[in-house]
Structure 1
Amino acid sequence: MKNPISTCIASILLLATGPLSGANTESKGNDPDFVRQAALKIDTYVAGWYRQKKLPVPDVTDDATFLRRAFLVGIGRVPTAEEGLFFLEMDDPNKRVELIDYLINSPGYTSHMTNWMFDLLRIKDEMARVNSGRNPYRDWVGNFVAANKPWDELTTELLASKGSLWADGQAAVGYYLRDQGMPLDNLANSMQIFLGTQMECAQCHDDPFGDTERHDFYELAAFTEGQNPVPMERKARPLYEEARLDKNRGTAKSDIIELVRYQILEQTLMGGGSGRISLPKDYQYRDAQPGEVIGGRTPFGKTVRTSDRGVDGDGRAKLAEWVTTKTDGQFQAVMANRLWKKIMGRGIYEPINEYVAAKDTNIPGLMSYISNLLVEVDYDLQAFQKILLNTKTFQFVPNPNPAKVQNGDDFHGRQLTRLSAEQIWDSLITLAGGNPDSKPRRTLDNRVRIGRNGGGAVIPGMTMSDLSDEVLKLKTVAELDAYCGELAAMVGGKGKKRGGDSMMMMSEEIRDYGKGAQVRASELPSPAPNGHLLFLFGQSTRDTVNGANSEPNVSQVLTLMNGFVQDQLVNNSSAHIYKSLDGASSPTEKVRRLYVGILSRPPSDEEMSWMMDEVKISGDTDDAYRNILSALVMSSEFLFLQ
């Protein structure tokens, strides 16, 4: 008789062989033959490297190592005990391919990829005046990942964005608002994210370590110049000051004026980039004068220009087009290498934020091939990663030795790396509560909420999108003043209502999670607050591109010994990992299930002997299995990926 859990997992595996979640059904990632051939092509290039370097071809890793690696790399968590037991006991020569299909189509892929994208784009909940749970830009990026839209489309929408943060279809403008008041820093980050080009030094002087001159940087900055709020924001300053007087502070009207100012007027970028910029007053080179107005010009690839004689108006759109289509393949090569590192553990070239032409990498043909492959799958990041996961290169045994090459991958097996903060958190909540991907994603709170930090009254029948549309149609300060008064009367029950039940329905759909919720890291505040396990294990502060770290510290040990692990796992009799022991026929079977649930492998004979000693000493009580669980979770094997 089949194990009912195994039957359930088997049905999931079968369902997973369908189209990629959120993807076009015509995507090449849904063609098994294309995936297999592309993976073989990659392996052929790597095999050529072995022949060239006279290196032995590594063995393919065992099922247990593959299982854990595929889960952590593919969806960012360890498998549940049920998932692990089923895969290890599954007698099917094609089970690795089926497992990859299961993972790449699961909600866990979206969660893990969202974490990765948040780190790359430096997503923070609390942009200027925008609170957690009310950040349309964060929500937009998460939805883009969930829908698996192409990378070039996401890049274009970000770089060409304009309008209001809250307006329907315009939340991508949060990319610029995230660095409000720092347009040059934003541009430097854009060049690093999308083109792997370091230009931040050229903000102040010619780059002594590269080819970028200060004049080059300002010519590029001309495309995005003009990131200003709507004119009404400046004209209405007296209205804001009046609202902040003690006699008015805390009234419905003053709260609405504050909301309109900070959430609408200051969260809107007018125009699309002027295409011209004034050089700084401290400009120090002979090719131009301080304060001189210059037009835009791209520094490499196909040259794109704007005039210095008048406002262009669509400079950001021209920049987006240049980045995605006119940089001689650099755009796709940078993302292909980022994803290679995400899957294989190390970039074909390192560091990944500094572009290296294919001809200068260790395997030029491989670098060229994966760059072209990303274009061939129409920038479908999910399909591209599915191909990498299906390579033999991904499945090689771990390499315990340092890389044999500098500044890149040596293609000789994955080296040992500590799990990211998100992988550790998501794995721990899997042990505590079972599959965390069954919990719904957080949603955007689009209600019009007034009061301090938006925690007060809600205007019925109205959304922030409605408020944005209506405010931006106003022409004068007097109109704005009158409009805020009308909304205040509505809050006080004296004005005309906009609707009733519609807001109740919307409220029921809002889901937000606080820092203590046991949900995937992608659904928690971003970044996690000080003291949270994610913070302690090095989650990025989202201030720099790929800013996470895996440096050890004493706080990590303490939180594993005395914090979440003890409270939610060791001392929690209802933890999912303990439930997986139900029905076990013997102490040895319980130990085996603990090992599979935590380390994704059965214990060795020697380990089983040690664990049986612990069971005997504790008299086969719950304490024995708590001690075993604690030891396994605290082990380096749990905290590291091989």
Structure 2
Amino acid sequence: MKILLEIAMAGRLKRQIDIGRDASILRIDPKLMTRFVHAVLLLLLVSCIGLCAEVLKPQDDIKFLNKAALQIDQHVAAFYRSKSLTVPKVADDATFLRRAFLVSIGRIPTTEESLQFLEIDDASKRAALIDYLLASKGYTSHMSNWAFDLLRVTDGRIGTSASNAPYRHWVRTAITNNMPWDQFTRHLIASTGDGWDPASAAVGYYTRDRGMPLDNLSNTMRVFLGARMECAQCHDDPYGKTERHDFYQLAAFTHGQDAMGQDKMRPLWDELATDEKRQSEEYQIAEVLWDRIYGMSLEAGGTGQIELPTDYQYRDASPGDVVGARTPFGQTVRMSDKRVEKDGREKLAAWMVGKTGEQFSSVISNRMWKRVMGKGIYEPVDEFIPVEKTNYPALAGYLSSLMLELNCDLRAFQHVLLLTRTFQFETNPLPSSVDGGDDFHGRKIERLSSEQIWDSLITLAAGDPDKHPPRTLDDRIFVSGKPVLVGKKSMPQLSKEVLAISSEKELRDYFEKFVREVKSGNTSQSGSAPMMAAKPANAYNKDAKVRASELPSPPPRDHFLYLFGSSDREVVDASSREPNVGQVLSLMNGFVQRELVNKPSAHVYQSLDGATTDKEKIRRLYIAILSRPPKEEEMQWMLDEVKKSGDSGYRNIVSALVMSSEFLFLQ
């Protein structure tokens, strides 16, 4: 019974921490919170008792994760000894709190979350906080931003009405479900089928680059294997080992990226795509089928052979020669140049994940290290360096093998890194003493990403942003920008029917029937239809106080996110953290002033409820914005400001703190 009571208490206290908690509850009894921590540990014990008969997977075994974190710290300690470096001090609770939130879930803690953590007096609270953060919706949101940047995920495509929304939704769902990185990679590289089918929506990885298969391939090698092959598209790479012939042999694996059965619609499309008919309703309806169904599908699975281009310039082959697929490094995988096959992309995916030695696991482990620690084991992270050639071969080798031991579970891998003492070291403002990598001598100061700044600002403006429902896939049929057949047919249904058509005549008959249905007036007249229950994905305006991961991708050019360096998602990892004048103007005159500083109902001001003295109000503002109480000198400055300006002094304090370097930078 005592165990059950402790578990019930843990659940009660956890609900106080959860989303939507009353803003006026700013303090709870530290002894009660200590009991909460103990109860959490008790829950883990109960779970272990229930699992005693089975062997936990490494990624699910907290004992394994803690042991792995210790091994990483031992490798770092060995590096200190070899360089005669002093061990940095561990950061204080306030610094750790803010760092853990920003790294794990991409935003600052709310006032309530800060006070609850800072007032707990328990040695295990840091580990408990990491557990809490990695299990939250915020982790999914923050990781989605990372994946969208890496994979260049956009909502639409230039020059076509085709949508990447199903693909974006697939990526977000995979992150939410914590799909292992090797499975995630296989799904993308070997994808084929209907772009609107949730089971095959990963084809968006290829169709977002329709007409540019060689560019897609070079990005694939860069993202997943840290191999830069852009130069080899046109000539032998003078700085690397890849020859142009090698690149085309690799491209043969993915050659043949055709739309499913689009040839059946070609005659009809050519008839309607003339200058005279482009304004007709028939053309607008045909565009739905041509762009948003056929244009979002992918047929076959890679032919395994490709012709060399007409400008091929080397003696090892001639322009127009057909070459068979062959991998340029790792275990050799070949395909014949004598016959057309259908499983090239599957073979490429299997080779990338399982036959490139340490390269696949090393690249993703280094990406995760940089994401958590601030700087890669080697830099740039998309230019692979063999473990033995890095500055820290023992550590790099261990991280690569750990990724495999954890079955490519990115959440578990980050969990290990967040549990290390290395992650907790104080900030080091000095540059790394090691060329091309980190010296682990304290975390390097870096400006927050545009998404971290935005998500932190909306936390101050509206409270915990994860209380909002996530963005949903808008699967309505749109003709000329207006929804049609709402509640009667969706894009997945329409796509399935169209792609099942087997002849040109059947396609024409279907199209004529579909035109009649649309013209008959079966358009959206009210929100009562069943399919109107889902909010359209594009309903958020630029000032919507929701997470960056829920907003349009890429953001509009006048949006806060764009001004602060958000990626246009046309190039891998194209975001920037460089300052510019527009950022200053935005902080002084834009969203920050309108929705935060000068808005009495902003969540940051709600934290002042119940505070009876100026000192307490100032303390709460500091904790809300910087996650720490003010220093004595700062308190005196702020008291002087309130004395001089009255209540408007608090707005001035909020404005000053939000525009401070301490707020905009991660320590």
Q: TM-score, normalised by structure 1?
A: 0.93
Judged with a 3 Å threshold, the aligned counterparts in structure 2 of structure 1 residues 505 and 6 are, in CA distance, closer, same or farther, namely farther
Whether 2:476 is the aligned partner of 1:447: answer yes
Q: State how far apart, in whole Å, the 1-side matches of 2:608 and 2:87 are.
A: 40
For structure 1, the 5+ residue unaligned runs are none
Which residue among 293, 304, 310 is the counterpart of 1:275? 304
- Note the 1:474-489 alignment, pairs <5 A: 474-489=501-516
SS class of match (1:109): helix
Which residue is equivalent to 1:353?
Answer: 382
Whether 2:664 is the aligned partner of 1:639: answer yes
Whether 2:595 is the aligned partner of 1:565: answer no
Which residue among 87, 110, 117 is the counterpart of 2:117? 87
Q: State how far apart, in whole Å, the 2-side matches of 1:68 and 1:535 are.
A: 24
- What are the Cα deviations for residues 114-157 of structure 1, in whole angstroms up to 9, with x where unaligned? 00010111111112567698610011000100011100011000
Q: State how far apart, in whole Å, the 1-side matches of 2:651 and 2:132 are.
A: 31
Whether 2:210 is the aligned partner of 1:180: answer yes
Which residue is equivalent to 1:210?
Answer: 240
Letter paired with 2:586: T
Judged with a 3 Å threshold, the aligned counterparts in structure 2 of structure 1 residues 132 and 369 are, in CA distance, closer, same or farther, namely same
Whether 2:529 is the aligned partner of 1:504: answer yes
Q: State how far apart, in whole Å, the 1-side matches of 2:292 and 2:162 are.
A: 13
Matched-pair contact (CA < 8 Å) for 2:25–2:112:
no
Judged with a 3 Å threshold, the aligned counterparts in structure 2 of structure 1 residues 131 and 110 are, in CA distance, closer, same or farther, namely farther
Letter paired with 1:508: A
- What are the Cα deviations for residues 343-362 of structure 1, in whole angstroms up to 9, with x where unaligned? 00000000101001111111
Q: State how far apart, in whole Å, the 2-side matches of 1:248 and 1:370 are.
A: 56
Which residue among 381, 386, 394 is the counterpart of 1:365? 394
Which residue is equivalent to 2:432?
Answer: 403
Q: State how far apart, in whole Å, the 2-side matches of 1:106 and 1:456 are.
A: 34
- Note the 1:139-538 alignment, pairs <5 A: 139-233=169-263, 236-242=266-272, 246=276, 249-251=279-281, 253-449=282-478, 451-453=479-481, 455-493=482-520, 504-512=529-537, 513-538=540-565
Letter paired with 1:315: G
- What are the Cα deviations for residues 229-271 of structure 1, in whole angstroms up to 9, with x where unaligned? 23434752444533666568443x4432221011111222211
Identity percentage of aligned residues: 53
Matched-pair contact (CA < 8 Å) for 2:476–2:483:
no
Single out whichever of 241-250 and 610-619 deviates more from structure 2. 241-250
Which residue is equivalent to 2:655?
Answer: 630
Q: State how far apart, in whole Å, the 1-side matches of 2:294 and 2:159 are.
A: 11
Which residue is equivalent to 2:21?
Answer: none
Q: State how far apart, in whole Å, the 2-side matches of 1:583 and 1:71 are.
A: 26
Judged with a 3 Å threshold, the aligned counterparts in structure 2 of structure 1 residues 49 and 479 are, in CA distance, closer, same or farther, namely same
Letter paired with 1:452: S
Q: State how far apart, in whole Å, the 2-side matches of 1:132 and 1:419 are.
A: 33
Letter paired with 2:599: N
Matched-pair contact (CA < 8 Å) for 1:80–1:431:
yes
Which residue is equivalent to 2:96?
Answer: 66
Single out whichever of 80-89 and 391-400 deviates more from structure 2. 80-89
Deviation at 1:503, TM superposition (A): 9.0
SS class of match (2:611): coil
Q: State how far apart, in whole Å, the 2-side matches of 1:6 and 1:328 are.
A: 52
Q: State how far apart, in whole Å, the 2-side matches of 1:591 and 1:362 are.
A: 46
Q: State how far apart, in whole Å, the 2-side matches of 1:601 and 1:7 are.
A: 17
- What are the Cα deviations for residues 362-411 of structure 1, in whole angstroms up to 9, with x where unaligned? 11111111111111111110111011000000000000111101111111
Single out whichever of 86-95 and 210-219 deviates more from structure 2. 86-95
Matched-pair contact (CA < 8 Å) for 2:486–2:529:
no
Q: State how far apart, in whole Å, the 1-side matches of 2:36 and 2:558 are.
A: 37
- Note the 1:587-606 alignment, pairs <5 A: 587-606=614-633
Single out whichever of 298-307 and 466-475 deviates more from structure 2. 466-475
SS class of match (1:589): helix
- What are the Cα deviations for residues 141-187 of structure 1, in whole angstroms up to 9, with x where unaligned? 00100011100011000000111211341110000011110000000
Matched-pair contact (CA < 8 Å) for 2:477–2:483:
no
Letter paired with 2:588: M
Q: State how far apart, in whole Å, the 1-side matches of 2:471 and 2:265 are.
A: 37
Which residue is equivalent to 2:9?
Answer: none
SS class of match (2:365): helix
Single out whichever of 475-484 and 304-313 deviates more from structure 2. 475-484
Deviation at 1:457, TM superposition (A): 2.2
SS class of match (1:69): helix
- What are the Cα deviations for residues 397-444 of structure 1, in whole angstroms up to 9, with x where unaligned? 000111101111111111110000000000000000000011111110
Judged with a 3 Å threshold, the aligned counterparts in structure 2 of structure 1 residues 520 and 615 are, in CA distance, closer, same or farther, namely same
Judged with a 3 Å threshold, the aligned counterparts in structure 2 of structure 1 residues 505 and 457 are, in CA distance, closer, same or farther, namely closer
Q: State how far apart, in whole Å, the 2-side matches of 1:573 and 1:132 are.
A: 43
Which residue is equivalent to 2:20?
Answer: none
Letter paired with 1:106: S
SS class of match (1:164): coil
SS class of match (2:488): strand
SS class of match (1:461): coil
Deviation at 1:516, TM superposition (A): 2.5
Judged with a 3 Å threshold, the aligned counterparts in structure 2 of structure 1 residues 350 and 594 are, in CA distance, closer, same or farther, namely same
Q: State how far apart, in whole Å, the 1-side matches of 2:521 and 2:504 are.
A: 23
Letter paired with 1:282: D
Judged with a 3 Å threshold, the aligned counterparts in structure 2 of structure 1 residues 465 and 587 are, in CA distance, closer, same or farther, namely same
Letter paired with 2:299: M
Matched-pair contact (CA < 8 Å) for 1:243–1:249:
no
SS class of match (2:568): coil
SS class of match (2:489): strand
Matched-pair contact (CA < 8 Å) for 1:127–1:177:
no
Letter paired with 1:256: I
Deviation at 1:31, TM superposition (A): 2.2
Q: State how far apart, in whole Å, the 1-side matches of 2:379 and 2:64 are.
A: 29
SS class of match (1:462): coil
Matched-pair contact (CA < 8 Å) for 1:159–1:316:
yes
Letter paired with 1:184: L
Judged with a 3 Å threshold, the aligned counterparts in structure 2 of structure 1 residues 407 and 94 are, in CA distance, closer, same or farther, namely same
Judged with a 3 Å threshold, the aligned counterparts in structure 2 of structure 1 residues 183 and 132 are, in CA distance, closer, same or farther, namely closer
Judged with a 3 Å threshold, the aligned counterparts in structure 2 of structure 1 residues 503 and 63 are, in CA distance, closer, same or farther, namely same
Judged with a 3 Å threshold, the aligned counterparts in structure 2 of structure 1 residues 130 and 5 are, in CA distance, closer, same or farther, namely farther
Judged with a 3 Å threshold, the aligned counterparts in structure 2 of structure 1 residues 391 and 81 are, in CA distance, closer, same or farther, namely same
Which residue is equivalent to 2:3?
Answer: none
SS class of match (1:294): strand
Matched-pair contact (CA < 8 Å) for 2:157–2:164:
no
For structure 2, the 5+ residue unaligned runs are 1-12, 17-23, 48-53
Judged with a 3 Å threshold, the aligned counterparts in structure 2 of structure 1 residues 126 and 422 are, in CA distance, closer, same or farther, namely same
